[in-house]
């Protein structure tokens, strides 16, 4: 089956994996999302396969995709932790500023 018949070449599956890996390594999550959309479209276009080489190429891409997804989840969790710390610092800073203002008024 050729690419014209809806089949995506083995090289194209590998290029998807390379792109995912490169964008994830630079934490370019917008481009990771774009590649993911392209992968979904390619999988829909290609449909199921009985070809062993095609399946191996897809399995390799699946492994890279799973790794990148885990990295994305980790980055999201780290960002959530950082934002939580930031909010706590802001609350502390606001309380400190209130004591500064209160102290200035008491000093009159």
For residues 104 and 31, which has the higher predicted lDDT (pLDDT)? 31
Average pLDDT rounded to a whole number, residues 58-81: 95
Of 20, 10, 33, 9, nearest to 64 by C-alpha is 20
Assess whether pLDDT exceeds 50 at residue 1. no
Q: Is 20 helix (H, G, I), strand (E, B) or coil?
A: helix
Quote the DSSP letter at residue 27: T
Mean pLDDT of 15-26: 97
Q: What is the pTM of this model?
A: 0.71
Residue 97 binned pLDDT confidence (cut-offs 50, 70, 90): confident
The pLDDT of residue 9 is above 50: yes
Question: For position 90, what pLDDT does the model report?
Answer: 83
What DSSP state is assigned to residue 107?
T
Q: How far is CA 99 from CA 86, 91, 105, 106, in A?
A: 20, 12, 10, 10
- Check: CB of residue 72 under 8 Å from CB of residue 24: yes
């Amino acid at each position: 089956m050729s690419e014209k018949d809806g089949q995506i070449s083995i090289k194209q599956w590998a290029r998807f994996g390379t792109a995912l890996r490169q964008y994830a390594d630079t934490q370019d999550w917008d481009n990771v999302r774009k590649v993911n959309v392209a992968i979904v479209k390619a999988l829909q276009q290609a449909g199921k396969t009985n070809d062993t080489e095609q399946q191996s190429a897809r399995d390799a891409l699946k492994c890279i995709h799973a790794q990148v997804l885990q990295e994305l989840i980790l980055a999201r969790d780290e960002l959530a932790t950082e934002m939580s710390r930031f909010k706590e610092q802001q609350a502390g800073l606001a309380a400190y500023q209130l004591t500064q203002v209160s102290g200035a008024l008491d000093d009159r």
